[in-house]
Chains A and B, each alone.
Chain A
Amino acid sequence: MSAQEQAFLEYVQGGGQVETSDWMPAEYRARLIKFIEMHGNSELMGVLPEREWILRAPTLQRKLALTAKVQDEVGHAQLIYRVVEDLGKPRAACLQDLIDGKSKFHNVFHYPTKSWGDVGVIAWLVDAAAIISQKALLKCSYAPYARIMKKICWEESFHILHGRDVILTMMNGTDEQRTLVQEALDRWWGPLMQFHGNPIAQGDDPSFSWRIKSQSNDEARQQFLDGYVPQIWELGLTVPDPKLRKDEEADRWEYSEPDWAELKHVVTGNGPRTKGRLQLRRTSRAETDWVRRALLAEAA
């Protein structure tokens, strides 16, 4: 590492923030692009499980709310890809790498949505898990990314509201509805526990060293459990992990080891819905190509 790189590293580790036009080490730029692009991909792919339920939403109000959420998430993808573009990778290249399976997206978006209960659990708990990571990014050393995170977190908190409302309505409904919620929770718990990633020592995590993120994976998971397990329990739902309990003395949650092999398998393109959803992206990209060409021709 050159003296200039070393000085930069110390600057960001000391809480310094970096703007697009500032000098930055090539490795920092590459790490940022990879990290932020994965986030953009996740926003974009994350709408697909929910999209499947727009036409099947139980009421018009829910349909509108779900459509609005989908619009928000695609908007987040646009904002995030803009940050990546300013770092040097065009949006078209990000989309191409995504549909070619060369870049990743979050594990939770590789799974099917089997019932309306899944839609509630996704909006409530998946968005809750996501907002914990995103709030930690408000302190990211790369300032343009930290700034858009403010708007994104603000909108995500709407989604949690929407998700909780869906879940509470179902829990106050019939036994059949309560069963749908419990089944959905059973399906999503494993992926939710994997969501924040396997525990890596902070010193071994380059995203942490460059202060792209400021929270360890395990801290994020603890925060998620602390915030949401009591909310799950108070509704009379059961978390499908017999080992889950809070060690009050150590102020830490104990839980069964998440299935890291499954996480790896899923995010490397082998999830139950990975191929189908990427195919949908591919098809929609091809089908809308004429729109982009027409717009660019008109603008030229």
Chain B
Amino acid sequence: MIFEVFRQERKGQSFQHAGSVEAPNKDFGDWYAREQYGRRGESVALWVVPRESVHEIDEFVDELEKNYHRVDGYPLKEKLKEARERAGTTATRDR
């Protein structure tokens, strides 16, 4: 079996993927994960997850172009320029 291992470096931090181990069963998976990713005090906790339990999603289709969720939905630069021209002010600094 292959187990994906996630490790937390310090309390409060997010768990990050560390790598994977191959083991005949869950107990050995735990032990290999400890040896590979916790032996030198580099982790305070590990998540050991059977690979088949991990579902990857890597397509994010935006059919409705919901750009109000994204930074590119707010083109301030052009509008600010226009507003300044209207008000007859000049930028003291670039905001």
Complex contact B19–A148 (CB within 8 A): yes
Per-residue contact bits, chain B 5-25, to A (CB 8 Å; 1 contact, 0 not): 000000000000111111011
Complex contact B28–A82 (CB within 8 A): no
Complex contact B21–A82 (CB within 8 A): yes
Q: Name which residue of chain A comes closest to B22, CB basis.
A: A82
How far is A82 from B4 in the complex, measured between Cα atoms in Å?
A: 11
Complex contact A78–B25 (CB within 8 A): no
Per-residue contact bits, chain A 251-272, to B (CB 8 Å; 1 contact, 0 not): 0000000000000000000000
Complex contact B22–A75 (CB within 8 A): no
Most chain A beta carbons < 10 A, residue from B2, B19, B35: B19
Q: Name which residue of chain A comes closest to B27, CB basis.
A: A299
Per-residue contact bits, chain A 10-47, to B (CB 8 Å; 1 contact, 0 not): 00000000000100000000000000000000000000
**Cross-chain contact of B20 among A75, A82, A295, A299 (Cβ < 8 A):** A82
Complex contact B18–A296 (CB within 8 A): no
Per-residue contact bits, chain A 122-156, to B (CB 8 Å; 1 contact, 0 not): 00000000000000000000000001100100110
How far is A79 from B35 in the complex, measured between Cα atoms in Å?
A: 11
Is B56 at the interface (CB under 8 A from chain A)? yes
Complex contact A91–B25 (CB within 8 A): no
Complex contact A79–B24 (CB within 8 A): no
Complex contact A299–B56 (CB within 8 A): no
Task: Give the A-binding residues of B (Cβ under 8 A).
Answer: 1-2, 17-22, 24-25, 28, 32, 35-37, 40, 42, 56
Contacts of A154 in B (CB 8 A): 42
Can you add 18 more A-B contacts, CB < 8 Å, to A78-B36, A86-B20?
A71-B35, A75-B35, A75-B36, A78-B21, A82-B20, A82-B22, A91-B22, A147-B17, A148-B19, A151-B18, A151-B19, A154-B42, A295-B24, A298-B24, A298-B25, A299-B1, A299-B24, A299-B28
Q: How far is the CB of A21 from chain B (nearest CB, A)?
A: 7
**Cross-chain contact of B28 among A71, A86, A295 (Cβ < 8 A):** A295
How far is A154 from B32 in the complex, measured between Cα atoms in Å?
A: 18
Is A85 at the interface (CB under 8 A from chain B)? yes
Per-residue contact bits, chain A 269-300, to B (CB 8 Å; 1 contact, 0 not): 00000000000000000000000000110110
Query: Would you mind naming 30 contact pairs between A and B with Cβ atoms under 8 Å apart?
Result: A21-B56, A71-B35, A75-B35, A75-B36, A78-B21, A78-B32, A78-B36, A79-B19, A82-B19, A82-B21, A82-B22, A85-B22, A86-B20, A147-B17, A147-B19, A148-B19, A151-B18, A151-B19, A151-B36, A154-B42, A155-B40, A295-B24, A295-B25, A296-B24, A298-B24, A298-B25, A299-B1, A299-B24, A299-B25, A299-B28
Contacts of A21 in B (CB 8 A): 56
Q: How far is the CB of B35 from chain A (nearest CB, A)?
A: 7
Per-residue contact bits, chain A 217-255, to B (CB 8 Å; 1 contact, 0 not): 000000000000000000000000000000000000000
Contacts of A75 in B (CB 8 A): 35-36
How far is A255 from B21 in the complex, measured between Cα atoms in Å?
A: 43
A164-208 residues with Cβ-Cβ distance < 8 A to B are: none
Most chain B beta carbons < 10 A, residue from A21, A78, A147: A78
How far is A86 from B4 in the complex, measured between Cα atoms in Å?
A: 12
How far is A110 from B18 in the complex, measured between Cα atoms in Å?
A: 32
Contacts of B37 in A (CB 8 A): 151
**Considering the complex of A and B, which 8 residue pairs feature the smallest CB-CB distances, nearest first?**
A299-B24, A299-B25, A295-B24, A148-B19, A296-B24, A82-B20, A75-B36, A79-B19
A51-105 residues with Cβ-Cβ distance < 8 A to B are: 71, 75, 78-79, 82, 85-86, 91
Contacts of A78 in B (CB 8 A): 21-22, 32, 36
Q: How far is the CB of B18 from chain A (nearest CB, A)?
A: 7
How far is A91 from B20 in the complex, measured between Cα atoms in Å?
A: 14
